[in-house]
Chains A and B, each alone.
Chain A
Amino acid sequence: MTALPAEPMLPSPFRIVKVVRELADTFTLVLQPEAGGAFAFRSGQFNMLYAFGAGEVPISISGDPADDGQLVHTIRSVGPVTQALGALKVGDVVGVRGPFGTPWPVEEAFGDDLVIIAGGVGLAPLRPAIYQALANRQKFGKLIIMYGARTPQDILFRKELEKWRSRFDVNVHVTVDRATGQWAGRVGVVTNVVARAGFDPLHTTALVCGPEVMMRYAVDMVEKRGVPTDKVHVSMERNMKCGLGLCGHCQWGPHFVCRDGPVFRFSEIAELFPVREL
């Protein structure tokens, strides 16, 4: 866990300086603190975003940790609060509490191949880790990004994926579950890509984020390839409310996801992961 903000229950006003419509149901808000100054965070952490009059939701930070002058959140509209956030425009203000939670262990992976496996909007919480990895590219072996989306029209951060793919030192594999027409890329689940990707299992750190079912199968495949589970990290999502491990809404077995997660070492949660009652 990292240091908590000084007033963790008090939302700070942030003004929207840019809105990007990423997909039909997904958008990015770029925010700046009304009070000025910087907003430091670590890749994988989340904030509680407050849409005034609608409520608060936990949203992972999707921007570059090296750029503390602005705060970037990529949000999928799935409920009243995220829909209210989606209706906001440049110049509007939101409340921000955070950052909360555990980070992706990017520095811990120095010296290893770094394998990043994302599904759907799960690429957003991993993007800060990708920025961090690219900024420290020479400290890793291979850098492999595997991304699965529903259709070619649902590929998040498409231009950035294309940019990363054009580098000679990053392997980017994109697959979609179904496609029609002119799609010349891969079709099939992301676990198919994991099965064939060229990394050294004994010297690999894997970061996985996406729908829980996708993560389960992706982790299975990574494990089958021989990567030890203490080098596999997943980002969990539960009903986070306070962000401090006090209210208990996000309790998951012995853990509070907001405080002990959202990023967990898989070996520490392997037994909880398949329990459907939790």
Chain B
Amino acid sequence: MVQIEDLGRIIDEHPFFQGIDGKLRGLLVGCAANERVDAGQYLFRQGGHADKFYLIRAGSISLEIHAPGRTIMVDTLTEGEVVGWSWLVEPYRWTFDARAQELTRLVSFDAKCLRGKMEADAELGYEVLRRFVPVMGHRLAATRLQLVDLYGPAE
């Protein structure tokens, strides 16, 4: 079983929370849990309640959209990356399916627990958002590049 201090070390070593203040890390640990998901299993499904977010420690997660007769993969997230920001924005619903491509180990954070702590502690709230916003910006830019269809047929 993973101890509280181990979770603190894992959070410390993960690129997403690299360099975080010890006091804030302590608050995060109180909402964290260690998880694993086997290859092919879903971490969450589109439309489901976004009650967590995840740091990937090992493995890979594909984000997918299901359409009748086919599943479209839109992004893959791997070791060192964060999964999910729907927990930050109402109505807290997942907008994609997330499925493990291989055995994947993660740290999960309980959204309700963390939102409560962020409301109560503005420093924690700022720190978490400060780390999420660049991720959101980067993914938005990447999505726009995908839309450009860079390698498509020449016009």
- A positions within 8 Å CB-CB of B: 25, 76, 78-79, 119-121, 148-150, 154, 175, 177-181, 183-189, 191-192, 195-196, 210-211, 213-214, 217
Contacts and interface: CB of A to CB of B under 8 A. Distances in A.
Nearest to A76: B154
A184 to B, nearest CB: 6
A183 B76 CA distance: 11
B142 A192 contact: yes
Contacts of B80: 196
B67 to A, nearest CB: 9
Contact of A191 (B70, B75, B142): B142
Contacts of B142: 188-189, 191-192
Contacts of A196: 78, 80-81
Interface string B68-83: 0011111110101100
B108 interface: no
A44 B70 CA distance: 40
B150 A180 contact: no
B72 A188 contact: no
Contacts of A191: 142, 145
A178 B74 contact: yes
B73 A187 contact: yes
Chain A interface main SS type: mixed
Chain B interface main SS type: mixed
B76 A187 contact: yes
Contacts of B62: 187
A246 to B, nearest CB: 27
A188 B62 CA distance: 10
B72 A179 contact: yes
A213 B148 contact: yes
Interface of B: 60, 62-63, 70-76, 78, 80-81, 101, 138, 141-142, 145-146, 148-154
A175 B76 CA distance: 9
Contacts of A192: 138, 142
A185 B145 CA distance: 19
A189 to B, nearest CB: 5
A187 B151 contact: no
B151 A186 contact: no
A154 B149 CA distance: 12
A173 to B, nearest CB: 10
Given A186-B60, A192-B142, A196-B80, A150 B151 contact: yes
Contacts of B60: 186
Nearest to B155: A78
A175 B63 CA distance: 14
B101 A180 contact: no
A211 to B, nearest CB: 5
Contacts of B74: 178, 187
Central interface residue in B60, B76, B154, by most chain A CB within 10 Å: B76
A76 B154 CA distance: 10
Nearest to A25: B153
Contact of A178 (B78, B81, B146, B148): B146
B11 to A, nearest CB: 19
Contacts of B101: 184
Given A119-B151, A186-B76, A180 B146 contact: no
A27 B152 CA distance: 16
